[in-house]
Structure 1
Amino acid sequence: MAKPNKKGPTKTVDIFCSQCKTQLFKYRKGGKGALVKCFIERISQDFTSTPCICPQCERLFARETIIRGAPAYKMIGGKVTFK
């Protein structure tokens, strides 16, 4: 399979914890669908201190994985929202 486009889309979305509403990432998302995964190379700003854990409520919101040969965070359903 092909790797994701490194430059990626120019539109950024803000990703928040669904429990405490703390901002987690600014992410360059493509398409209109749900947020299932975040490629690490597309994260423009990271507000977390430890990967995949909310800095405010310390809840696990994603798992680190490799998708199409690139490191990514696989989101756990219902743990994050985005605008």
Structure 2
Amino acid sequence: MAKPNKKGPVRTVDIYCAGCSAALFKYRKGGKGALVKCFIERIVKNHTNNNCHCPSCEQEFGRSTLIRGAPAIKFVGGKVRFK
């Protein structure tokens, strides 16, 4: 399978915790669909200490996984928002 493009899209979105609205990531998102996964190599700014837990409320919002051979975070439904 093909790996995701490293340079990726230019449009950046801010990802927030749905529970406490704390900033989690600044991410280069491609397409206009829902936010289901987040490739680690496309994260511009990381505000978390542990990639899968919110820094303020400690709620788990995703799981680490490999997608198409690249490390990624699969989000749990309803735990994150993005603008």
Fold agreement, TM-score > 0.5: yes
Q: Which runs of 4+ in 1 moved over 2 A?
A: none
Q: Deviations over 1:33-79 (max 9, x none)?
A: 00000000000000001120000000000000000000000000000
The code of the aligned residue for 1:7 comes to K
Q: Partner residue of 1:69?
A: 69
Determine what percentage of the aligned residue pairs are the same residue: 69
Written as runs of structure 1 = structure 2, the 5 A alignment for 1:31-70 is 31-70=31-70
Root-mean-square deviation (CA), in Å? 0.3
Instruction: In structure 1, list runs of 5 or more residues that go unmatched.
Output: none
The code of the aligned residue for 1:22 comes to A
Question: Aligned partners of 1:36, 1:51: CA distance in 2, in Å?
Answer: 15
Instruction: In structure 2, list runs of 5 or more residues that go unmatched.
Output: none
Written as runs of structure 1 = structure 2, the 5 A alignment for 1:6-21 is 6-21=6-21
The code of the aligned residue for 2:20 comes to C
Matched residues, number:
83
**TM-aligned CA deviation for residue 15 of structure 1:** 0.1
